[in-house]
Amino acid sequence: MRGPKVAQVNGIEIAYEEFGSGPLVVLVMGTGSPGRVWQAHQQPALTKAGFRVVTFDNRGIAPSSECADGFSHDDMVADTAALIEHLASGPAFVVGTSLGARITQELALARPDVVKAAVMIATYGRNTPLQQAISAGERALYDSKITLPPDYAAAITAHLNLSPHTLDDDRTAKDWLDVIGFSPQTVTPGVRAQLALHDHEADRLGAYRGITRPSMVIGFADDRTLPPKLAREVAEAIPGARYEEVAKAGHFGYLEQPAEVNRLLVDFLAAQA
């Protein structure tokens, strides 16, 4: 059944949508983005492949509880576990990107009972100076009440998140700039709370050796935000994890190269179903 719903879980409200029927797949989005981003490409492909797909807005993203006073990774992991339990379907396939991937691997470690298999896209197990600098800069802009000119904000977003192969084509680059400009990411108090998470991220690669659920990690060859070496480190840490790298894709690779990402997802999840 399709349509927005609200679950009262883990002491907050989580807004979610359901599509299709079959084995449950829960999709976890990254920093500052709503769950509906998955609905452009991954949700339709997974639904067509015979899965019941749930997208949701993480805490910090309205209409889920914004929790602007702050929260931790553990809170977001507990939210996802509670949502899976609310859906009452037993363990789920869990797929996350960026911050959502970090939540996914922590969930697989802390609550393997609710995870049937895990896919981490554009992920990381440790922070880097570049990540910390970008996050600190985004927080400083918000705290100083500075709003970048829309065209410049779109250009920076494209540069950080898209492959040079995409941006080298002038027409394609213009199309992406238009899309980003029409749907800019707004830093709300809840998103500001999500950004604060990046200042407190420990190196978790050693801990991930304790993950026992079947896992696949997908890196993007041209990812400037979270370079593929970081994703490869996570795959190397998780016993038996499969690693795949998608060419001509930046941090938004699941939107740039959806056919390849969807093929990897469907093949992996179907093999675990």
Catalytically annotated residues: 98, 223, 251
Measured CA to CA, the distance from residue 36 to residue 4 in angstroms comes to: 10
Measure the CA–CA gap between 216 and 221, rounded to whole angstroms: 16
**Pairing verdict, β 115-121 and 215-220:** parallel
How many angstroms separate the CA atoms of 183 and 257, rounded? 20
Distance CA 241, CA 232 (A): 10
Contact, 101 vs 121, CB < 8 A? Answer: yes
The whole-angstrom separation of Cα 191 and Cα 175 is: 26
Asked whether the beta carbons of 235 and 128 are under 8 A apart, the reply is no
At 246, give phi and psi (nearest 5°).
Answer: -95, 125
DSSP 96: E
What is the distance between the alpha carbons of residues 25 and 16, in angstroms, rounded to a whole number? 13
Strands (E) located in the chain: 4-9, 12-19, 24-28, 52-56, 92-97, 115-121, 215-220, 242-246
